[in-house]
Structure 1
Amino acid sequence: MIINTGSRTDIPAFFSPWFYNRIRDGFVMARNPFDPRRVLRYRLDPAVVDAIVFCTKNPEPMLPRIAELDAFNTFWSVTVTSYGPEIEPYVPPAERVTEALCALSEHVGFHSCGWRYDPVFISEKYSVDYHLKAFRRMAEELKGSTGQCVISFIDLYKKTTRNFPEVRPVSSGDQRILVSQMAEIAGENGMVLYLCCEDPSLAGPDVNAGGCLSRGVLERALGVTLDVPALPRARKECDCLLNADIGVYNTCGHGCRYCYANYDRKLVAQNMKRHDPESPFLIGNSMPGDIVSDAQQQSWVSPQLDVFARL
């Protein structure tokens, strides 16, 4: 099975001591975001966890203790964009995150790292030309550290439009220009461009729309074949394996105006004050009335050796 950490928050950036404590203790407790009384207990054991997937805008806090994860396979999806602090107030400078991604790749390997340049939106400052120039610069800096770059265009969730009312969708014409030219730039730097839940007609020989955390991507990273059971999809158009997420909504401190996982800064601050690095829960601790169940966990690794035959 796959443990995910990043669809709801950024654990590496803000909660790395807690996560290493969970590795030490060998388990983690995760509340159901829609019914907080219901709690799943996940074993953090390489015998049943085939990979831990991290999605982060800043892997640097994890690096000093990264060897503590060596017993596990990991996949790291690291977002590096070109936006300024008026859009991403508390995200470190892109140059610093790029350096951290390169250092991470040296430890975990080329196929275990992906770069995300998203979400893409267009404004007077962040024009198509601006994005293409920034994308080229970053791709050249990351050459040799990853073979995957993922892009997506901004989704106008209710939370997003409330916190970022001036944002507008990217036109289909601009999408085609960006995808075509970004795919070319990615190829020049040893990367394949992946689309995240975008119009399938944008895909092509050099553009993969099959999922940025799909079975194929993870098989390449792990060097094994996975027999994945039927799982509910996180989104109907997405083939990524995003189940078993241990994060919590409204806990990410980056303050990005386009964020779908945070309601507002006040609630985030309240939740982060409730974080205890020694608790098995990311936020708070056990409560009266909790209904605790052990997650059903088993390895998906197949004894077959033809992992690269279908990639």
Structure 2
Amino acid sequence: MSPWPVVRITTAQGPRQAVAPLVVSASRATDIPAFHVRWLLERLRAGYCLWRNPFNAEQKQYVTFARCKCLIFWSKNPLPLLPRLAEIDDLNFRYYFQFTLNNYEPERLEPGLPPLEQRLETFCRLSEQVGRERVIWRWDPLLLGPTLPAEALLERLDALGRRLSPFTDKLVVSFLDIYKKIKGRLAAHAAAPRAPLESEIPALAEGLARCNAAWPHPLRLGACAEAADLSAWGIAHNACADPALISRLCQEDADIQRLCGLEPTQARLLPARPRKPARDPGRRRHCHCLPAKDIGAYSSCPHGCVYCYANQSQAVVRARLRMQRKGTESLI
């Protein structure tokens, strides 16, 4: 059952049923801010888009933005979106960024990304433009390998944290989930990247907490959809579609306050939630996110990250991007 109400909308194809979410994710499936800004703005102005099931292209779903109050942007390079944020402001959407900024340059695990220094500059510029509360730093995923032992990984994390901590309030980390489609890519790569073993996680958590304590602006730490309890090191179970942040960004909206577990009349008065916020039934077991409808598409991101679960192959990505046309309702 859909966690969103179903309404009737008018599309270019005529009347259709559409889901009407309060929060939209743009997108866990692809980097919309890096590669699909034109499409995003076209669809926001049109008031709806078409989403296709990545496992069954014939299964389609219209998504209307009529009730949407908050957009969550997921990106490794949001630079192309920065000059267009005023247009999104004018459309009266609130938004924040999940900005993944890793340093795997020596291993070439993210070959399609801009240089690290440029990404650092983009992070700081974005934070200055929208406020550091609205730019979440993600190191996602944490990877180890023959040339990247735990000590070296923590050194890289520490170096970035010293640069980025004044420009954000939060760091979220995750550990690699090994999907069948990426096993071959990882095994064939010269750096032989791997997920940390369960026995290695406590040392990484302790090291991260130690680094964070020494940063210019110590951050709140979170782990994304992880079963492990890392609270002993100050690392909480994270909600990327975050009820606390979304309720603050949309203080005047009663529907958002209820979604986030607050009574509208109490939203500004009570720091504690009188009831639990809604949970997204479509997410993994240990995910604490609010329901947020994703509008992205798999195999549409040219970053080419070796560990990426969302791309079938770079050849498929290139073929799909060649098929894109202006004004299309769906991303692919």
Q: Per the shorter chain, which TM-score range?
A: 0.7 to 0.9
Of 52, 61, 65, the match for 1:44: 65
188-197 vs 253-262, greater mean Cα deviation: 188-197
Deviation at 1:222, TM superposition (A): 4.3
Conserved in 2, the CA contact under 8 Å of 1:194 and 1:212? no
| Corresponding position: 1:93 with 2:110 | no
The answer for the alignment partner of 1:65 in structure 2 is: 84
The answer for the alignment partner of 2:55 in structure 1 is: 34
Q: Render the CA deviation track for 1:38-95: whole Å, top value 9, x for unaligned.
A: 33222334xx112101111000010111111112110100111110262111011222
The answer for the alignment partner of 1:268 in structure 2 is: 317
Deviation at 1:226, TM superposition (A): 2.6
The answer for the alignment partner of 1:184 in structure 2 is: 210
The answer for the alignment partner of 1:124 in structure 2 is: 146
Question: Structure 1 pair 60/210, CA: closer, same or farther in 2 (3 Å)?
Answer: closer
| Corresponding position: 1:15 with 2:36 | yes
Tell me which amino acid in the other structure corresponds to 2:97: W
Instruction: Find the aligned partners of 1:10 and 1:20 in 2 and give their Cα distance.
Output: 14
Question: Structure 1 pair 257/99, CA: closer, same or farther in 2 (3 Å)?
Answer: same
The answer for the alignment partner of 1:175 in structure 2 is: 201
Conserved in 1, the CA contact under 8 Å of 2:300 and 2:311? yes
Conserved in 2, the CA contact under 8 Å of 1:31 and 1:38? yes
Instruction: Find the aligned partners of 1:108 and 1:215 in 2 and give their Cα distance.
Output: 19
Tell me which amino acid in the other structure corresponds to 2:197: S
Question: Structure 1 pair 14/73, CA: closer, same or farther in 2 (3 Å)?
Answer: same
Question: Structure 1 pair 135/41, CA: closer, same or farther in 2 (3 Å)?
Answer: same
Conserved in 1, the CA contact under 8 Å of 2:227 and 2:286? no
Q: TM-score, structure 2 length as denominator?
A: 0.79
Question: Structure 1 pair 277/128, CA: closer, same or farther in 2 (3 Å)?
Answer: farther
Q: What secondary structure is seen at the aligned counterpart in 1 of 2:247?
A: helix
Instruction: Find the aligned partners of 1:220 and 1:186 in 2 and give their Cα distance.
Output: 25
| Corresponding position: 1:215 with 2:236 | no
Tell me which amino acid in the other structure corresponds to 1:57: K
| Corresponding position: 1:227 with 2:258 | yes
Of 74, 80, 94, the match for 2:95: 74
The answer for the alignment partner of 1:199 in structure 2 is: 227
Identical pairs, percent: 30
Conserved in 1, the CA contact under 8 Å of 2:206 and 2:233? no
Q: What secondary structure is seen at the aligned counterpart in 1 of 2:296?
A: coil
Conserved in 1, the CA contact under 8 Å of 2:300 and 2:321? yes
Instruction: Find the aligned partners of 1:265 and 1:80 in 2 and give their Cα distance.
Output: 21
Instruction: Find the aligned partners of 1:14 and 1:279 in 2 and give their Cα distance.
Output: 15
Tell me which amino acid in the other structure corresponds to 2:290: L
Q: What secondary structure is seen at the aligned counterpart in 2 of 1:201?
A: coil
Deviation at 1:180, TM superposition (A): 1.6
**Pairs aligned (count):** 281
Tell me which amino acid in the other structure corresponds to 1:249: Y
**What residue ranges of structure 1 are gaps of 5+ in the alignment?**
284-311
Tell me which amino acid in the other structure corresponds to 2:72: V
Identify which of structures 1 and 2 has the higher relative contact order when contacts are C-alpha pairs closer than 8 Å and 6+ apart.
Answer: 1
Question: Structure 1 pair 72/131, CA: closer, same or farther in 2 (3 Å)?
Answer: same
Q: Render the CA deviation track for 1:129-159: whole Å, top value 9, x for unaligned.
A: 2211111121121122211111111111111
Question: Structure 1 pair 24/212, CA: closer, same or farther in 2 (3 Å)?
Answer: closer
Structure 1 stretches of at least 4 aligned residues deviating more than 6 Å after TM superposition: none
Q: TM-score, structure 1 length as denominator?
A: 0.84
Instruction: Find the aligned partners of 1:148 and 1:10 in 2 and give their Cα distance.
Output: 21
**What residue ranges of structure 2 are gaps of 5+ in the alignment?**
1-21, 260-277
